[in-house]
Amino acid sequence: MRIRDRRAEDVPEINLVPLIDVILVLIIFFVITTTFDARSVLKLELPRAGGEPNTQSESLSLLINADGRYFVGDREALRTDVESLKRTIVEVAGEDRERTVLLRADARTPWQAVVTAYDALGQLGFTRIANATAPEAPAPAAP
Protein backbone atom coordinates (compact mmCIF):
# COMPACT_ATOMS: atom_id res chain seq x y z
CA MET A 1 0.00 0.00 0.00
CA ARG A 2 1.23 3.46 -0.92
CA ILE A 3 1.11 6.20 1.66
CA ARG A 4 0.70 9.62 0.15
CA ASP A 5 1.97 12.74 1.65
CA ARG A 6 -0.95 15.18 2.06
CA ARG A 7 1.32 18.17 2.40
CA ALA A 8 2.30 17.93 -1.26
CA GLU A 9 -1.33 18.52 -2.32
CA ASP A 10 -1.74 21.70 -0.31
CA VAL A 11 -1.15 24.65 -2.59
CA PRO A 12 -0.25 27.77 -0.69
CA GLU A 13 -2.29 30.82 -1.64
CA ILE A 14 -2.34 34.44 -0.63
CA ASN A 15 -5.67 35.93 0.28
CA LEU A 16 -5.79 39.32 -1.49
CA VAL A 17 -9.05 40.63 -0.02
CA PRO A 18 -7.49 42.17 3.14
CA LEU A 19 -4.67 43.63 1.06
CA ILE A 20 -7.16 45.29 -1.30
CA ASP A 21 -9.10 46.67 1.66
CA VAL A 22 -5.99 48.24 3.14
CA ILE A 23 -4.96 49.74 -0.21
CA LEU A 24 -8.42 51.26 -0.74
CA VAL A 25 -8.36 52.82 2.73
CA LEU A 26 -4.92 54.30 2.03
CA ILE A 27 -6.05 55.69 -1.33
CA ILE A 28 -9.09 57.32 0.25
CA PHE A 29 -6.92 58.78 3.02
CA PHE A 30 -4.42 60.30 0.55
CA VAL A 31 -7.14 61.66 -1.74
CA ILE A 32 -8.89 63.40 1.14
CA THR A 33 -5.74 64.84 2.69
CA THR A 34 -4.17 66.13 -0.53
CA THR A 35 -7.11 68.02 -2.06
CA PHE A 36 -6.56 71.42 -0.53
CA ASP A 37 -7.21 74.72 -2.23
CA ALA A 38 -4.04 76.67 -2.92
CA ARG A 39 -5.65 79.83 -1.61
CA SER A 40 -6.19 78.26 1.81
CA VAL A 41 -2.55 77.17 2.10
CA LEU A 42 -1.04 80.53 1.24
CA LYS A 43 -1.89 83.41 3.53
CA LEU A 44 -2.21 86.38 1.18
CA GLU A 45 -3.22 89.85 2.21
CA LEU A 46 -4.55 91.33 -1.04
CA PRO A 47 -4.38 95.07 -1.66
CA ARG A 48 -7.71 96.87 -1.34
CA ALA A 49 -9.62 98.49 -4.20
CA GLY A 50 -13.17 99.45 -5.07
CA GLY A 51 -15.10 98.26 -8.10
CA GLU A 52 -17.11 95.30 -9.21
CA PRO A 53 -15.71 91.81 -8.58
CA ASN A 54 -14.94 89.88 -11.73
CA THR A 55 -15.10 86.08 -11.47
CA GLN A 56 -13.54 84.12 -14.29
CA SER A 57 -13.53 80.35 -14.05
CA GLU A 58 -11.07 79.62 -16.86
CA SER A 59 -8.35 81.98 -15.71
CA LEU A 60 -4.79 80.95 -14.95
CA SER A 61 -3.94 81.71 -11.33
CA LEU A 62 -0.56 83.28 -10.56
CA LEU A 63 0.05 83.86 -6.84
CA ILE A 64 2.94 85.79 -5.33
CA ASN A 65 3.36 85.49 -1.58
CA ALA A 66 4.88 88.08 0.76
CA ASP A 67 8.35 86.54 0.31
CA GLY A 68 8.20 86.97 -3.48
CA ARG A 69 7.75 83.25 -4.28
CA TYR A 70 5.59 82.32 -7.29
CA PHE A 71 2.79 79.74 -7.50
CA VAL A 72 1.26 79.04 -10.91
CA GLY A 73 -1.93 77.01 -10.62
CA ASP A 74 -0.92 74.29 -8.19
CA ARG A 75 2.83 74.41 -8.91
CA GLU A 76 5.54 76.48 -7.31
CA ALA A 77 8.29 78.06 -9.39
CA LEU A 78 11.62 76.69 -8.18
CA ARG A 79 13.42 80.03 -8.29
CA THR A 80 12.33 83.65 -8.45
CA ASP A 81 14.00 84.56 -11.75
CA VAL A 82 12.12 85.23 -15.01
CA GLU A 83 13.23 82.05 -16.80
CA SER A 84 12.13 79.74 -13.99
CA LEU A 85 8.78 81.51 -13.78
CA LYS A 86 8.32 81.27 -17.56
CA ARG A 87 9.03 77.52 -17.49
CA THR A 88 6.46 77.00 -14.74
CA ILE A 89 3.84 79.06 -16.59
CA VAL A 90 4.41 77.09 -19.81
CA GLU A 91 4.11 73.79 -17.92
CA VAL A 92 0.75 74.80 -16.45
CA ALA A 93 -0.78 76.86 -19.29
CA GLY A 94 0.60 74.98 -22.27
CA GLU A 95 0.26 76.88 -25.55
CA ASP A 96 -2.95 78.74 -24.62
CA ARG A 97 -2.00 82.44 -24.56
CA GLU A 98 -5.60 83.68 -24.76
CA ARG A 99 -6.43 82.70 -21.17
CA THR A 100 -6.84 85.44 -18.65
CA VAL A 101 -4.14 85.41 -16.00
CA LEU A 102 -5.38 86.30 -12.52
CA LEU A 103 -2.43 87.82 -10.66
CA ARG A 104 -2.78 87.57 -6.89
CA ALA A 105 0.04 89.33 -5.11
CA ASP A 106 0.22 89.81 -1.38
CA ALA A 107 0.03 93.48 -0.34
CA ARG A 108 3.45 93.05 1.32
CA THR A 109 5.07 91.54 -1.79
CA PRO A 110 8.17 93.34 -3.04
CA TRP A 111 7.32 95.34 -6.16
CA GLN A 112 10.17 93.65 -8.06
CA ALA A 113 8.40 90.28 -7.76
CA VAL A 114 5.26 91.73 -9.38
CA VAL A 115 7.31 93.36 -12.16
CA THR A 116 9.09 90.05 -12.77
CA ALA A 117 5.71 88.30 -13.10
CA TYR A 118 4.50 90.92 -15.60
CA ASP A 119 7.76 90.58 -17.51
CA ALA A 120 7.47 86.78 -17.74
CA LEU A 121 3.82 86.98 -18.83
CA GLY A 122 4.64 89.62 -21.45
CA GLN A 123 7.55 87.60 -22.86
CA LEU A 124 5.27 84.56 -23.20
CA GLY A 125 2.61 86.57 -25.03
CA PHE A 126 -0.15 86.82 -22.43
CA THR A 127 -2.16 90.00 -22.95
CA ARG A 128 -5.14 89.48 -20.66
CA ILE A 129 -3.93 90.01 -17.08
CA ALA A 130 -6.23 90.78 -14.16
CA ASN A 131 -5.11 91.83 -10.69
CA ALA A 132 -6.93 90.36 -7.70
CA THR A 133 -7.75 92.76 -4.88
CA ALA A 134 -9.78 92.63 -1.71
CA PRO A 135 -12.86 94.86 -1.43
CA GLU A 136 -12.33 98.24 0.19
CA ALA A 137 -13.04 98.46 3.87
CA PRO A 138 -16.26 100.40 4.53
CA ALA A 139 -15.71 103.99 5.59
CA PRO A 140 -16.52 104.68 9.24
CA ALA A 141 -19.80 106.51 9.79
CA ALA A 142 -19.47 110.19 10.59
CA PRO A 143 -20.86 111.16 14.02
At 49, which CATH number? 3.30.420.270
Mean pLDDT, range 72-101, rounded to an integer: 88
Tell whether 59 is covered by a domain: yes
Tell whether 34 is covered by a domain: no
Tell whether 80 is covered by a domain: yes
Query: What residues pair up with 76 in beta bridges, in sequence order?
Result: 71
Tell whether 115 is covered by a domain: yes
Residue 9 has pLDDT above 90, yes or no: no
Tell whether 63 is covered by a domain: yes
Single-letter amino acid code for the residue at 141: A
pLDDT value of residue 23: 94
Tell whether 20 is covered by a domain: no
Per the structure, the complete domain to which residue 112 belongs is given by: 39-135
Angle between helices 111-124 and 82-93 (to 10 degrees): 50
Please give the angle made by the CA atoms of 91, 134 and 59, to the nearest 5 degrees. 25
**pTM assigned to the model:** 0.57
Tell whether 66 is covered by a domain: yes
How many domains, the chain?
Answer: 1
Mean pLDDT, range 100-124, rounded to an integer: 90
